[in-house]
Chains A and B, each alone.
Chain A
Amino acid sequence: MAFPIVGIVIGVIIGYISPYTFPSWASQYVAIAILACADTVLGGLVAIMEKKFHMGVFITGFFTNAILSAALVWLGNQLSIDISIAAVVVFGSRMFQNFANIRRFILNKHEKNDNI
């Protein structure tokens, strides 16, 4: 459970001290892609706990979700609809749901029957 958190911290440090920045036009797509990725990671953690984890599904989900959400935002920009709001709402609620599942799983580790 601690590894993903350590991974995120290491990644943020690497990313922050690296000399690269995204081009300014890309940052809105990256922002929404980050949300999609974070959702995938939480989903993956839940899958591990429920012993349903599948590496291929996880990896492909990570990248395709990111690309799809960025593409949707791009499409929204072309049509002048703020689709990023929809993405934020969907991924946000899913992240909370996944997080709630993780929390329950950890709390109920020793009392398998209590699944409130």
Chain B
Amino acid sequence: MIKTKGAIGVTFICIILGIIIGIQAKTVRVQTSVYDLKRVSELSAELTILENENRELKSNLVDMQNKVAGYEKTITDGNDSLQVIVKNLNDVKIEAGRVALTGRGITVTLNDSKKYGSTGGVDQNAFLIHAEDILSIVNELFSAGAEAISINGQRLVANSSIRCAGSVVNVNGVKIAAPFVVSAIGDPDILEAALVFPGGVVDSLAPWGIELTIKKQETVEIPAYTGTVTFKEAKIVGTEE
């Protein structure tokens, strides 16, 4: 008697338990598909599309800039006053970092320390290059009279930023990773001296084993700034309405 009654009860309860398990399994599956699978796969697909778009637009931009340069040339042929204007324009472009420059200068190559991960007891982050290290090098170079600086091909202009972005460094909004190559146009001797004086930037990085090589060069090429700067809020003083 107990056995039959018990079997019926247990079976009934088992059906309830099974229903709960079934619904729960479905809930968990829906959740994972919503929060994990969708996010990872769809976002990475989106990212790839945007990256391709970005690359296309950049090559378009270079084409357009070349075209503009061509037009400037044809217009100014044989016209003195226009030539003066274009010369002024070029000066402004150089100041704004809109043209590639070449000249004497130095390149500083930085790489993460080989001690990273091998010595215990110390904060391992000290063996990596940080945005602040690059920033202080750039600061020293500019104050020593560097005329143009680029980091891994990213031209530094008035609106440039150098930021830590996790394991990489963000320069002009573009992610770059070690090894970092800082190129600067200016008097090579002065620029080098600005980095290697006692207690200077090179001295402060040396104890951590960060690899830093300075090369004086006869020709350093600095690419043009390819980003855009829009002035939405800023107006020239005296012209605001």
Partners in one complex: yes
Query: B interface vs A, CB < 8 Å?
Result: 2-3, 5-28, 30-31
Residues of A within 8 A of B28 (CB): 27, 31
A58 at the interface (CB under 8 A from B): yes
Contact present for B9 and A44 (CB under 8 Å): yes
A73 at the interface (CB under 8 A from B): no
Contact A7 B2, CB 8 Å, known A15-B21, A27-B24: no
Contact present for B27 and A24 (CB under 8 Å): yes
Report Cα–Cα, A102/B19, bound state, in Å: 24
Report Cα–Cα, A30/B3, bound state, in Å: 30
- Total A residues in contact with B, Cβ cutoff 8 Å: 39
Contact present for B10 and A3 (CB under 8 Å): yes
Contact A38 B9, CB 8 Å, known A15-B26, A21-B26: no
* Among A5, A15, A17, A48, residue most surrounded by chain B Cβ atoms (within 10 Å): A15
Contact present for B14 and A15 (CB under 8 Å): no
Chain A interface, >50% SS class: helix
Contact present for B24 and A10 (CB under 8 Å): no
A40 to chain B, nearest CB (A): 8
Report Cα–Cα, A26/B73, bound state, in Å: 70
Residues of B within 8 A of A112 (CB): none
A48's closest neighbor in chain B, by CB?
B6
A95 at the interface (CB under 8 A from B): no
Contact present for B27 and A45 (CB under 8 Å): no
Residues of A within 8 A of B25 (CB): 12, 15-16
A4's closest neighbor in chain B, by CB?
B14
Q: Which of B2, B5, B24 contacts A34, CB < 8 Å?
A: B24
Contact present for B22 and A48 (CB under 8 Å): no
B32 to chain A, nearest CB (A): 11
Q: Which of A10, A13, A18, A48 contacts B7, CB < 8 Å?
A: A48
A51 at the interface (CB under 8 A from B): yes
Contact A33 B19, CB 8 Å, known A3-B7, A27-B28, A44-B10: no
Contact A14 B19, CB 8 Å, known A53-B6, A59-B9: yes
A9's closest neighbor in chain B, by CB?
B18
